[in-house]
Structure 1
Amino acid sequence: MGHEFEATDVAEVDATPEQVWDAIATGPGIDSWFMGRNEVEGGTGGVVRGAFGGYKPEYRIREWDPLEKLVYGSDPAPDGRKIAYEFLIEGRAGGSTVLRCVTSGFLPGDDWEDEFEAMTTGNELFFRTLVEYVTHFAGRAAVPVTAFGPPVGDWPAAWARLGTALGLSSRPAEGDRALDGVVYAANDQTVGIRTADAMLRFIKGFHGPLVASHHVFTPGADAETEEKTWSDWLTRVFD
């Protein structure tokens, strides 16, 4: 059966169109708010490549209008699966910018609901992280950090355990103070924390583990070292 979808996110941010464009149209920019490691071959017909664990998607750039519009997406798979991202940028008087992101595509099969829920909650976190990035870290490039924890069998208990590890009395909620920062996003499957030098994100993995998908802005940060540190942390908390 499958499911065709389209979702729109909009925010006015305290950043210039140039800063927003750098965030969405360059590898270091995307590294600083999306997931995994990314590279961009700019221009219409170019490619956006990602790497997150063993997942390595490629998206063809369909529209490239610097400071105004960027559209890229995957080619349809044999089963019809596809996804596309459209970013629209509108500068405002006073230096702010309105950013609109439209995510659309098709999920195949009769069991698309769980994947759609995971994608929807994940995209909510990614857009919120993009807004936090251009608001608080514009012009800085992050080291993307990806670490996988042990398999989780009881998710309500796991989220409560995460809260305890962060010094909270319950599951993290938006506005909570944790790790010398603030929880800027929280939904059923994700938590995002902004500190002075990082955005730390915890995501319910689609196939079992809790995933740390962080962005570290500390000068000299090393991805391999950070990933081992967070992998060990997840094991201590959830094993």
Structure 2
Amino acid sequence: MSKEFEIVSEFEVDATPEQVWEAVTHGTGAYLWPMDPPEPRVGGAAAFGSTVTAWDPPHHLTVRSEDVGFGAQSANQLEHVIEARDGGRRAWVRYVHSGIFTDDWDNQYDGAAKHTDFYLHTLREYLTHFAPRPVTFASAEGPEASATSEALAAVGAALGLSADDDRGARVTVRGPQEFDAVLDYRNPYFLGLRTGTALIRVFGRGRWGAPVGVSVHDFAPDADAEATGKAWQGWLNGVFSRP
């Protein structure tokens, strides 16, 4: 049965409104994935077939789609309201994701709400530590065997994280290569790792019937998206092929 939903998040961040606006309109690869920027006008085209319904830089952006094309959703709207704080040195952001789910409402809402928290945390990490550096984006997806609720714990163990490692811990990570990082996010569904040059995001989507995913937002000037993606893909395949 179709039913409307609304997910609301508010936060402050050590970035100017202009930096937030740039991130959500042109720098999406820094915290989500690369996508075409919206046309800078009301009525303009935006990503995934959506339309700009509010355009007031750097304060108000809304995009909406009435024909989402996803099996369990018929309408989707994303709104950003951005205000200056501390004389423009900080920004307050109100983010509202709304629309209509047409099937499996509770599960769809749960997944959208939890992903929203993680994506917005990654946006704040980017704005705080890396903006306005350009990004190279890479991603990998685990095999079908990783589509279980236990998969994220297996990935964490393979990365060398202990059960006691929590947000803010400095860890030595055993990924495709060994590196030092800050564990900037951890819950039963997602892991976030921050190095001096990159944000590495691990998505344990087994709860929602999907494989583990990894995205790498690399801010190093010599970053190689193809090599990074292949390295993490091979690593994930290895984790879930072990006896």
Select 2:51's aligned residue among 52, 57, 60: 60
1:41-93 per-position Cα deviation (integer Å, ceiling 9, x unaligned): 322222222xxxxxxx2321111100111101212459861111110111112
Aligned equivalents of 2:54, 2:91: Cα separation in 1: 20
RMSD of Structure 2 on Structure 1 (CA): 2.0
Q: Mapping of 1:1-239 within 5 angstroms?
A: 1-26=1-26, 29-34=27-32, 36-40=33-37, 41-49=39-47, 57-76=48-67, 81-94=74-87, 95-109=89-103, 111-151=104-144, 152=146, 154-156=148-150, 158-170=151-163, 173-178=166-171, 179=173, 180-205=180-205, 206-239=208-241
Give structure 2 stretches of 5+ with no counterpart. Answer: 174-179
Ranges of 4+ aligned residues in structure 1 off by more than 4 Å:
77-80
Give structure 1 stretches of 5+ with no counterpart. Answer: 50-56
Conserved 8 A contact 1:144-1:214: yes
Conserved 8 A contact 2:152-2:212: no
**Helix, strand or coil for the counterpart of 1:131?**
helix
**Helix, strand or coil for the counterpart of 1:228?**
helix
Conserved 8 A contact 1:17-1:89: yes
Conserved 8 A contact 1:60-1:75: no
- Give the 3 Å change call, closer, same or farther, for CA 92–42 of structure 1 in structure 2: same
1:139-176 per-position Cα deviation (integer Å, ceiling 9, x unaligned): 112112121111225423x2222222222223864233
Size of the aligned set, in residue pairs, is: 227
**Helix, strand or coil for the counterpart of 2:212?**
strand
* Paired-residue identity, %: 35
Aligned equivalents of 1:138, 1:181: Cα separation in 2: 18
Once the 2 structures are TM-superposed, how far is the Cα of residue 220 of structure 1 from its aligned partner? 2.3
**Helix, strand or coil for the counterpart of 1:226?**
helix
Once the 2 structures are TM-superposed, how far is the Cα of residue 126 of structure 1 from its aligned partner? 0.5
